[in-house]
Structures are given as structure tokens and as C-alpha cells.
């Protein structure tokens, strides 16, 4: 299937590893001209080299921390120097915080909001002129299945990620007059550096093997296994394509069936 995005400019934020990296790879494989961003120069350089080895295409990269407003403005200037329009924007930055409600102070709540919601707001807002210029741009923001079926001990990220769904549904309608579609992909448990580190920490704390932790957390997933980052990225690339031209304001679960609410 030709997704129709050959030659289109795309920016993937949070692409040095994990799901964002696979989104960049998937978009490159479809012929898009991909730019990548995250905080670490070292990780970005390695990701760009790896993407070039895999696809034969050089990938420009820029260091920015989306919890820093000035960084996001610098990112916009860097993107604007490369293209006058941005048909595809993916934000893959975010994460969860395992803690009990009583352990969380205001700083933890504000930090999670900035990381998961305000960061995405800044990324979209600062590129709005370039998105409008494209005429039919697609924005895809990574959410989480936890927003649809709140996980225990993750109250702060459950709430932030639920806010992202509201953002996507509001923005998709508000930006429709500019031809901009806005959707979210909500992964379930996915084996990326994020989960790798979490499982390693649990393994140390509980004195059980890494594989046992993964087995335990797989048991409540109907598909009985974690997702692979490329399985999430496939949906992101599809939503970023022209094959989903009637899809906007949606939060699509890619979670092996873990979140099974009727609405």
C-alpha cells in the first residue's frame, strides 16, 4: 500500500530511541523527509547514523528538551530553516511515574503535566504556521492506554495522559479549518528503553529476574506479551499518511487488548 507521503517533510520529537525512533524509521521507509529531535546529542547522533544505515537516507537532528519553552522555539527555527511547511508532526515524548497518590507533591504533578501535556502543546503551537502552510497536515501525539484504563500506582501519568486525549479531541476540531488532522496513538506495555529501565529497577528491588517481571506484567494482557515499538509506530505512520484522510480527534489504542472499556 502506498501511503502517499513520499517526499513530505516530517518532524519526530522524542526520536532518539523507543517508539519515536521506530516512527522516524517507518516514515523514512515510506519516503518522507524526516527530521528528528530529543535531548541527548549522543543518542541523536547514534539514532541518525542507525536510521541512515537502515534506510540509506541522511537524517538531520536537533537537540531540544520540550520541557524548556526556549528549546522548543529554537527547534521551530531550525525546522523553519529546512522547510516552509510541515505536513507531518509526531510527538513521542512522555512517560509514566509509578507512585502512590500520597507520595506525590505539587512538583510531581506539575512535572508530569509539563512532560506529558504542556510539552506536546508547545511542540504543536510552535509549529502551527508550518502545519497550516502544508494545507493537509497530520499531527500524531503518543498517549497511553493508561488514560483509558487507569493503571494502579500511576495516578499522576494516568491523569496527564487523559488530558492529552482531551487536547487531541479539542485541537482536531479547532484546527480542522486549516486541514490539520490531530490524532493520538495510545500504546499499552511496549518494550522500549522506558520499560526496560522500569523492569530492571523492579527486578533489583524485588530480587527477581528481569524475565519474570516481564512475564508478570504480560499476564494481564490478552495477547500475553508486550508490544514491540515498531508495532506502535505502524499505527502512527498510518495516521500520519493520506490513507486516514477521514480520521481526526481520535485516540487509537495499540495495546494487545489491555484496555477494554466499552467507550
Query: Cβ atoms within 10 A of the Cβ of 80, count?
Result: 15
Q: How far is CA 49 from CA 75, 104, 255, in A?
A: 20, 39, 30
* 19 interacts with ligand NAP by CB under 6 A: yes
- Is there binding between residue 144 and ligand NAP (CB under 6 A)? yes
- In sequence order, which residues have a C-beta less than 8 Å from that of residue 215 and are 6 or more positions away? none
Is residue 151 involved in binding ligand NAP (CB under 6 A)? no
- Residues within window 86-105 making contact with ligand NAP, judged by CB under 6 A: 92-95
Whose grid coordinates read 522524542? Answer: 14
Identity of the residue, 9 or 189, whose beta carbon is nearer to ligand NAP in the bound complex: 189
16 is an interface residue for ligand NAP by CB under 6 A:
yes
138 DSSP β-pair partners: 88, 181
**Closer to ligand NAP at the Cβ: 14 or 87?**
14
Distances (CA, A) of 240 to 3, 30, 125, 161, 185: 9, 11, 18, 20, 11
Q: Which residues ranging from 106 to 125 are in contact with ligand NAP (CB under 6 A)? A: none
Enumerate residues 49-68 that contact ligand NAP by CB under 6 A. 65-67
Least distance CB 33 / ligand NAP (angstroms):
20
Return d(Cα 133, Cα 33) in angstroms, integer. 17
Rounded distance, CA 171 to CA 179, Å? 12
Quick one: 94 or 172, whose CB is closer to ligand NAP? 94
**Binder of ligand NAP out of 126, 154, 184, 190 (CB under 6 A):** 190
Interacting residues with ligand NAP (CB under 6 A): 14-20, 38-40, 43, 65-67, 92-95, 142, 144, 187, 189-190, 192-195, 229
Amino acid at each position: 500500500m502506498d501511503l502517499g507521503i513520499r517526499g513530505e517533510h516530517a518532524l519526530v520529537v522524542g526520536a532518539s530511541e523507543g517508539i519515536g525512533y521506530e516512527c522516524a524509521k517507518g516514515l523514512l521507509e515510506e519516503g518522507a523527509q524526516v527530521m528528528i529531535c530529543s535531548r541527548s546529542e549522543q543518542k541523536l547522533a547514534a539514532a541518525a547514523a542507525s536510521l541512515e544505515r537502515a534506510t540509506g537516507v541522511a537524517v538531520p537532528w536537533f537537540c531540544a528538551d520540550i520541557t524548556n519553552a526556549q528549546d522548543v522555539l529554537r527547534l521551530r527555527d531550525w525546522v523553519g530553516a529546512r522547510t516552509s511547511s510541515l505536513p507531518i508532526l509526531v510527538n513521542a515524548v512522555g512517560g509514566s511515574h509509578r507512585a502512590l497518590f500520597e507520595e506525590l507533591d505539587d512538583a510531581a504533578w506539575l512535572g508530569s503535566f509539563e512532560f506529558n501535556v504542556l510539552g506536546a502543546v508547545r511542540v504543536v503551537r510552535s509549529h502551527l504556521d508550518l502545519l497550516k502552510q502544508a494545507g493537509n497536515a497530520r499531527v500524531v501525539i503518543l498517549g497511553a492506554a493508561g488514560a483509558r484504563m487507569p493503571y494502579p500506582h500511576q495516578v499522576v501519568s494516568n491523569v496527564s495522559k487523559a488530558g492529552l486525549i482531551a487536547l487531541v479531541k479539542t485541537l482536531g476540531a479547532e484546527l480542522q479549518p486549516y486541514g490539520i488532522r490531530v490524532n493520538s496513538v495510545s500504546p499499552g506495555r511496549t518494550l522500549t528503553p522506558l520499560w526496560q529501565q522500569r523492569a530492571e529497577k523492579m527486578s533489583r528491588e524485588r530480587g527477581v529476574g528481569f524475565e519474570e517481571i516481564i512475564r508478570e506484567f504480560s499476564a494481564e494482557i490478552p495477547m500475553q506479551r508486550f508490544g514491540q515499538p515498531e508495532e506502535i509506530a505502524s499505527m502512527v505512520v498510518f495516521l500520519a499518511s493520506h490513507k486516514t484522510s477521514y480520521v481526526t480527534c481520535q485516540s487509537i489504542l495499540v495495546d494487545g487488548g489491555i484496555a477494554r472499556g466499552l467507550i
